[in-house]
Amino acid sequence: MNAPLPAEVLKQHLIDPEICIRCNTCEETCPIKAISHDSNNYVVDPEICNGCMACVPPCPTGAIDNWRLMVRAEAYGVQEQLGWEELPGEKALPEMAAAAPAGDELDAPQPAAPAPSAAPGATVPPWSAAHPYVNLYTHKTPMTATVVGNYRVTGADTESDIHHIVLDFGELPFPVLEGQSIGILPPGADAQGRPHHARQYSLASPRDGERAGYNNLSLTVKRVTEDHAGAAAHGVCSNYLCDLAKNDKVQVIGPFGHTFLMPNHPRANLIMICTGTGSAPMRAMTERYRRRIETGENGRLLLFFGARTERELPYFGPLMKLPRDFIDINLALSREAGQPKRYVQDLIRDRAGAVRELLADRNTCIYVCGLKGMEVGVLDALHDVAVQAGQDWSILHDALRREGRLHFETY
Annotated catalytic residue within 201, 240, 289, 315: 201
Span near ligand NAP by CB under 6 A; candidates 184-192, 320-328, 354-362, 367-375: 367-375
Please identify which residue in 206, 370, 401, 406 interacts with ligand NAP, judged by CB under 6 A: 370
Instruction: Confirm or deny that 277 is annotated as ligand binding.
Output: yes
Pinpoint the alpha helices (H) of 152-278.
236-242
- Select 292 or 341, whichever has its Cβ closest to ligand NAP: 341
Q: How far is the CB of 345 from ligand NAP (least distance, A)?
A: 6
- Does position 368 bind ligand NAP by CB under 6 A? no
Other residues' Cβ atoms within 10 Å of the Cβ of residue 74? 13
Q: How far is the CB of 119 from ligand NAP (least distance, A)?
A: 16
- Does position 343 bind ligand NAP by CB under 6 A? yes
- Does position 222 bind ligand NAP by CB under 6 A? yes
Please identify which residue in 246, 249, 291, 335 interacts with ligand NAP, judged by CB under 6 A: 335
Span near ligand NAP by CB under 6 A; candidates 46-54, 125-133, 144-152, 274-282: 274-282
* Three-state DSSP state, 299: coil
Span near ligand NAP by CB under 6 A; candidates 55-63, 138-146, 364-372, 398-406: 364-372
Q: Cβ distance 399 to 361 under 8 Å? A: no
DSSP 82: H
Give me the half-sphere count of Cα atoms (radius 13 Å) on the Cβ side of residue 143. Answer: 22
Q: Which of 118, 262, 116, 252 is nearest to 185 (CA)?
A: 252
Please say if 294 is a catalytic residue: no
Q: Cβ distance 322 to 329 under 8 Å? A: yes
Q: Cβ distance 262 to 126 under 8 Å? A: yes
Instruction: Confirm or deny that 394 is annotated as ligand binding.
Output: no
Question: How far is the CA of 392 from the CAs of 15, 123, 135, in angstroms?
Answer: 38, 21, 39
Instruction: Confirm or deny that 335 is annotated as ligand binding.
Output: yes
Instruction: Confirm or deny that 396 is annotated as ligand binding.
Output: no
Q: How far is the CB of 280 from ligand NAP (least distance, A)?
A: 4
| Full DSSP string of 142-164 | PEEEEEEEEEE-S-TTSS--EEE
Instruction: Confirm or deny that 128 is annotated as ligand binding.
Output: no
Instruction: Confirm or deny that 341 is annotated as ligand binding.
Output: yes
Question: Taking each helix axis from N to C terminus, what angle separates 374-388 and 393-402, rounded to the nearest 10 degrees?
Answer: 120
Q: Per the omega criterion (within 30 degrees of 0), is the bond before 255 cis?
A: yes
Please identify which residue in 138, 215, 220, 259 interacts with ligand NAP, judged by CB under 6 A: 220
* Three-state DSSP state, 303: strand
Annotated catalytic residue within 160, 202, 205, 218: 202
DSSP 129: P
Q: Cβ distance 334 to 343 under 8 Å? A: yes
Residues in 155-194 at the binding interface with ligand NAP, rule: CB under 6 A: 160
Round to whole Å and give the CA distance between 269 and 361: 8
Instruction: Confirm or deny that 370 is annotated as ligand binding.
Output: yes
Please say if 411 is a catalytic residue: yes
Please identify which residue in 10, 34, 371, 400 interacts with ligand NAP, judged by CB under 6 A: 371
- Does position 240 bind ligand NAP by CB under 6 A? no
Residue nearest ligand NAP by beta-carbon distance = 276
Instruction: Confirm or deny that 409 is annotated as ligand binding.
Output: yes
- Does position 273 bind ligand NAP by CB under 6 A? no
Q: Cβ distance 278 to 409 under 8 Å? A: yes
DSSP 302: E
Annotated binding site: 202, 222, 277, 334-335, 341, 370-371, 409
List residues binding ligand NAP (CB under 6 A). 160, 201-202, 220-222, 275-278, 280, 306-308, 334-335, 343-344, 369-371, 373-374, 377, 409, 411
Q: Which residues are catalytic?
A: 201-202, 369, 409, 411
